[in-house]
Chain A
Amino acid sequence: MEIPYAVKPRPDTGLYNAKLGIWLFLASEVMLFGGLFSSYILLRVGADLWPHGMVSIPVGTFNTFVLIASSVTVVMSWASLKLGRLGDFKKYMALTIACALGFLGVKSFEYHAKFTHYDVWFKDAATAEKYFKAAYGEEKGVEAARKLFVERFHLHNTKAVYEANQVQLPGHLEGNPLFATHRSLASAKKETFQFTPDAPFGTHDHPKPIEVKLSDVERLSAYVPKHSTYFAIYFTITALHGLHVLGGAIVLAYFLFTANTWWKKNPEQLANRVEVGGLFWHFVDLVWIFLFPIIYLL
């Protein structure tokens, strides 16, 4: 059975069916991401402390450029079909898919960096200060840790009270394991672990690794959703967006690989399919346009 109005517009709507369908779908997507954006605002405004500088701005900027470039190439691929240039369509669509894979590659690089980066919370203030001194030096240790805390949470102009055992000591575990926790280290019968703290704020001088007793640690967490509200909402929104990029790339790749068949069978329908896929792709770009400043810059 042939699907009706796949090429010609329906007389009542003035649109071919798939176009109305994709716009209704995008309307539901607006509500989905709108709900998540509301949640983000609610969580952020309601939080006592909200971290800054947890993600790399140059990496996020690069990915923004990649998505914008892909939006240009996908619309050019559609225009090429309308001009009867199948070769150009293939070229632009391949570039779009390359951009999508590039975006996902960079994102997975970012995620991996988070999954191997840890915060350690110590049992009490005295214990915390002992490790700060071990990490950053006897004289400047406590001040260096305090500075990292103040800069992360932008506490310069707030009345928030500094308490040493609130301070997360950020850094990397020996061997860069993924998703290690206090429990997983305890299960592995580890009594101590090697920890390389992050460089003091504003420098790139990584301190030497320090030996940390597991019994001194209150909590150990990689930068994963359960680390904090910030990472919970960060991973929820960016992973959902990433899944959209992946889904869009699969659909666009299908159009590319079946283009020859469709071009012979019904070139107008191929153009319409690419238009509908392109509309979804632009929406994915549009979501990122708001995500980038909210997650990376503000």
Chain B
Amino acid sequence: MSHDHSSSHDPSHVDHNSPEYIQKTIKKYLAVGGILFGGTVLTVAMYYVHIPSVFWTVTIALLIATVKAGFVAAVFMHLSDERKMIYGVLICTVFFLIGLMGLTLWAMNDFPFFTLVDGKPA
């Protein structure tokens, strides 16, 4: 969105506040809206097609969701052209998110101490 790149005094930068630039981005927003609608239709269609493999069903559904989320983040949230500080924040977030999810799932088959299964320690 308003990156205020115009105020960076860098002549190589496009003025992100100019009406011409905003008009161009509006076309992009509408195109991405169309892609998101299409992606949703595709996701639902995949459900009704019914793929026998659970692995592929989950993979395809999450892949489509990731592509849709990528468009929202890159275009609507303007991450395709953002300041380094924001990328730094997001890299840290991804690192900790992977840690959070990874450690949780890693512990999936762990039993708490003193758990008994059929009368024996697990």
State the A residues within 8 Å of B (CB): 8-9, 13-16, 19-20, 23-24, 27, 30-31, 34-35, 37-39, 41-42, 45-46, 57, 61, 64-65, 68-69, 71-72, 75-76, 78-79, 82-83, 268, 271-272, 275, 278-279, 282-283, 285-286, 289-290, 292-294, 297-298
Contact = CB atoms under 8 A, between A and B. Distances in A.
Contacts of B26: 76, 79
A15 B85 contact: yes
Centre residue among B4, B19, B65, B76 by max chain A CB count within 10 A: B76
A14 B9 CA distance: 12
Nearest to A13: B85
B44 A297 contact: yes
Interface of B is mostly: helix
A24 B88 CA distance: 10
A20 B85 contact: yes
A162 to B, nearest CB: 22
B65 A290 contact: yes
Contacts of B12: none
B33 A71 contact: yes
17 contacts: A14-B84, A19-B86, A34-B101, A41-B105, A71-B72, A75-B29, A79-B25, A79-B29, A83-B19, A282-B76, A283-B77, A285-B76, A286-B69, A286-B73, A293-B62, A294-B61, A297-B47
Interface string B11-46: 000000101001101100110110011001001101
A278 to B, nearest CB: 7
Interface in B65-106: 65, 68-69, 72-73, 76-77, 83-86, 89-90, 92-93, 96-97, 100-101, 104-105
Given A275-B2, A283-B77, 12 more contacts: A13-B83, A14-B4, A14-B8, A20-B85, A31-B97, A34-B97, A41-B101, A75-B29, A75-B76, A82-B22, A290-B69, A293-B64
B115 interface: no
A292 B39 CA distance: 12
Contacts of A268: 2
Contacts of B23: 83
A23 B25 CA distance: 21
Contact of A46 (B64, B76, B86, B108): B108
A76 B61 contact: no
Given A30-B97, A82-B17, A298-B58, A23 B89 contact: yes
Contacts of A65: 37, 40
Contacts of B44: 57, 61, 297
Contacts of A35: 100, 104
A275 B1 contact: yes
A61 B40 contact: yes
Contacts of A13: 83, 85
B76 A289 contact: no
Given A69-B33, A82-B17, A282-B77, A297 B43 contact: yes
Contact of B61 (A16, A34, A45, A297): A297
